[in-house]
Amino acid sequence: MTDHEDVERPRRARMTGAARREQLVAVGRRAFAAKGVDGISVEEVAAAAEVSKPVVYEHFGGKEGLYAVVVDRELRALTEAVTATLTEGGTDRETLERAALALLDYIEASPDGFRILVRDVSGTAPTGTYASLLSDVAGQVSHILTEAFVRRSIEPTHAPMYAQMLVGMMSLTGQWWLETRTPAKEEVAAHVVNLAWNGLAGLEEPPRLRSRPDNESR
């Protein structure tokens, strides 16, 4: 090879700091989804991004810092998608339908992100977690149910408990659908709302355990 040929050899363009950071976030997102935060090392992240370990430390301070950024982005995306549906107005049933579809839309568009959020994590996880998100959503659902319960002459103090039930049901269904992807998300949402809505429509006041007729639910 001549000196002239060596001089004209194309060189890989150097990434800007912002571009490198986004690349590392994308690499980390895939890695954490596949193996979890405890199953991935800084060395593996650096190797996948074709950079040295110090580059990862420079941008995020380590694996935990990168993980915190990834989780924060996913939480914000899912929070905005779901909570927006709870403030759009419409009937109570329409609100349930929109919320169910919002979660399934997110899972369909960001399966890796959802896997990261629902995966068991160690003490290195950031303070904002999927559990805290569900708690926030349940709080908003509770306000909606309180108004609905009052209109139907049902004890409103139990609304927070029912909100936890509804949010938990949708969350677990979403985790199941993440792996099965069948039936279609619209059908899944319809079934969830069918159970939730028709169950709410037929609430007893007060509820009783029929298997224990001598024990009134309080």
Candidates 139, 58, 145, 39; CA nearest to 93 is: 145
Which of 6-10, 87-91, 128-132 is predicted with the least confidence, judged by mean pLDDT? 6-10
**Cα–Cα distance measured from residue 105 to residue 82, given in angstroms and rounded to the nearest whole number:** 10
Write down the pLDDT at residue 120: 52
Q: How far is it, in rounded angstroms, from Cα 55 to Cα 61? A: 9
pLDDT, position 3: 53
pLDDT in tens, 68-99: 999 999 989 998 899 889 888 888 899 999 99
- What is the tens place of the pLDDT at every residue in 26-73? 999 999 999 988 899 999 999 999 999 999 999 999 999 999 999 999
Q: Which is nearest to 187 in space by CA: 208, 173, 167?
A: 173
Where is pLDDT greater, at 210 or 169? 169
d(CA 159, CA 84): 20
Rounded mean pLDDT, 195-216:
83
pTM of the entire predicted model: 0.81
Could you tell me the pLDDT band of residue 153, with boundaries at 50, 70 and 90?
Answer: confident
Q: Looking at domain 71-202, does it have CATH number 3.60.21.10?
A: no
- For the cut 70, the answer to whether the pLDDT of residue 13 exceeds it is no
